[in-house]
Amino acid sequence: MPAAILDDAARAATTGQAVMKGAKAGAITGGAYATATGEGFEGRLTNLPGGLIGGTVGGAAAAPAVKVVSWAAGKLGKPVARLFADRRYYTEEGGITPAGRAALEQLGYSADEVSDAFAREFSKGVDEGIDPTLAARAAGMEEFGIPAYKHNVTGDVNDFANFERARRGVGPDAVVNKAQSLGNAQEMAARRAVDSTATEMGDGIRADQLDAAQAVTDRLQRAGEAEKAAAQAAYKAADDAGVTVPAQVARGVTQRVQTRLADEEIDLTSDIFQGARAFMKRLAKRGDGEGGVSLRLIDTFRKDLNATLSRASGEDKRALSIIKGEYDQWVDDVVEARLFDGDGAGFDALKKARGLWQAYSAKYRGKDAGSKFIQDMISEDASPDQVMRWMFGASKLGSGRMNAKLAVKLRDTLGKGSDEWNMVRQAAFRQLTQKPGTEVPGASGPIPWGPQKVSENLKYFFNNPQTKPLADVLFTPKERGDFIRLSTALGRMVPPRGAVNYSGTAYETARQAQKLWEGALTLIGYKAGGPAGAAAGHAAAKGTAKGAGWLKARQIGEKVRGKKPVGPIAVGAIPGAQAGVAAGEVATSLLYPYPLGPNPRQQR
């Protein structure tokens, strides 16, 4: 009411008339506000006079400002009007401005996490006069290319009900067609948004769960073979260098290890040290001949010792560990003191070979869960379907073997930026957003879940304590933020409880009523004018529906951005009404500082 009255004030012929209308607007607003803030019946009666007085004065004082703004907007056009509405929260050159950051944070958004598309749409909505909260909701949908309609951003059950009734066939043909067209376009846009979000992770290449499983298996097999070959080539290079350790130096390692075992009170004659005893027998033969001991022989002993140690247990494992430690130290001492014959490059090649073999063994021969996971995937007995279920689960992401730790192992083995790892991430996202193993008949591509299912799946996976660690490994912080906003955007398409009659009986009843109306006018026309009258009556019924439908079709499902409730004149009218409210508050607090005991503001 105040906006409408002050709109009249802006068009008043004289300033006096404008002041009178402004005073009326302020009285209504200030009185209503003061009454609403009173506690109980008695408190409201106490507040009312102050609100009326203050609102009248404030509204009257604001009316000249309304005239000035309206005159400027009318004479100078849009540039002046934008000064009152344009917040300039975003610029293409600089991104989110300080004012934009403050506005977003006030609404609960992190300016560092929202996308440029979101910030751009939000700023555009605010500049066009949309309430910032509604503009943010619309931007949250349109950053993904999903059109935002009135009911999506208000969330009002009646707005949803009006749209859904028309979409389900209730109302004139023009309204039904319009609602169905808008609804279908929105659903298709949502599907495209989900699919494009997934495809972006694959650099534009689509990949589902089975594609990812096959690619990962092939990559792991090829990488394992390549790393093994590289380690073997390095060992061959060390051996080809012809480096040997003199016999007298080689014999020294046996005495060294025996001394250490004695210090640890280990008696190798006991049956509990069978493994250690066998290796000491091999070591005792070192340097028996007159020739030197080759690098290949030295390192073969070490590799065999490591393999036996990984299977050993108890006291035998302790003894083997001591042998390995002393043997490795002996090799290091030989290298450091250059107690060998031949080119030193051979020992450098040996060190390189050891590192390569150690890395290969850790990935493809280790006993930890991550290594076993990789070994199972590249096993000859593993089928692509099995690998797919191990990574993604049979139906629900996170229900398979792959947890956060195994995902880290797989990521590090494949390479964080590798095509195969990105295929895994894309397939994981598709697991959340589409029906597994289904494709649209006659077309390529999977069938996506509906907006509600996708929204719920994304929220659960990224927020549930059981699946969140895996989500943190699979997706970057920016991606997780984008997915949560996508979930929110899709959730705005879901009608609230009570907005839709899913049984369809109410919609069918409404359609029957419409048919009865057409039949009634047809019958009346027949009674009045025979067949010609019946035709005229039927045409009249259709004409009435189409006429009303044409008017409604222009409004139903209209984009929020298309509605501009804050026009040039109303920009000036709103401060006038607000002045009435503010003046009413001030007057009330001066006249009646404590209407009912303690000050309500202090209580709040």
HEC-encoded secondary structure of 491-554: HCCCCCCCCCCCCCHHHHHHHHHHHHHHHHHHHHHHHHHHHHHHHHHHHHHHHHHHHHHHHHHC
Backbone angles phi, psi at 85, to 5 degrees: -120, -30
Give just the sign of the alpha carbon dihedral 382, 384, 388, 394.
negative
pLDDT score for 316: 92
Least confident span in 192-206, 359-373, 457-471: 359-373
pLDDT score for 1: 39
Q: pLDDT tens for residues 389-425?
A: 888 876 677 777 888 898 998 999 888 889 999 999 9
In sequence order, what DSSP letters do the residues of 22-87 get, joined into one string? HHHHHHHHHHHHHHHTSSHHHHHHHHHHHHHHHHHHHHHHHHHHHHHHHHHHHHH-HHHHHHHH--
Q: Could you tell me where the beta strands, DSSP code E, fall in 280-417? A: 293-294
pLDDT above 90 covers a percentage of the chain that reads 13
pLDDT exceeds cutoff 50 at 514: yes
What average pLDDT does the segment 314-342 reach? 86
Question: For residues 360-377, b (16+ Cβ closer than 10 Å) or e, as one string?
Answer: bbebbebeeebbebbbeb
The rounded distance, in Å, linking the Cα atoms of 331 and 477 is: 47
Selection from 477, 493, 561, 469 nearest residue 115 by Cα: 477
Conformational region of residue 322, where left means phi above 0, alpha means psi within -120 to 50, and beta covers everything else: alpha
Pairing of strands 434-439, 446-448: antiparallel
10 Å Cβ neighbour count for 482? 21
10 Å Cβ neighbour count for 247? 15
The rounded distance, in Å, linking the Cα atoms of 118 and 104 is: 11
Mean pLDDT of the chain: 75
**Taking the complete model, does pTM exceed 0.85, yes or no?**
no
pLDDT score for 559: 46
Question: CB of 319 within 8 A of CB of 268?
Answer: yes
Give just the sign of the alpha carbon dihedral 127, 133, 136, 141.
negative
pLDDT score for 487: 93
Q: pLDDT tens for residues 539-593?
A: 666 655 444 544 445 554 454 444 543 333 333 344 444 444 454 444 444 443 3
The rounded distance, in Å, linking the Cα atoms of 291 and 413 is: 43
pLDDT exceeds cutoff 80 at 267: yes
pLDDT score for 317: 92
Grade residue 52 by pLDDT with cuts at 50, 70 and 90: low
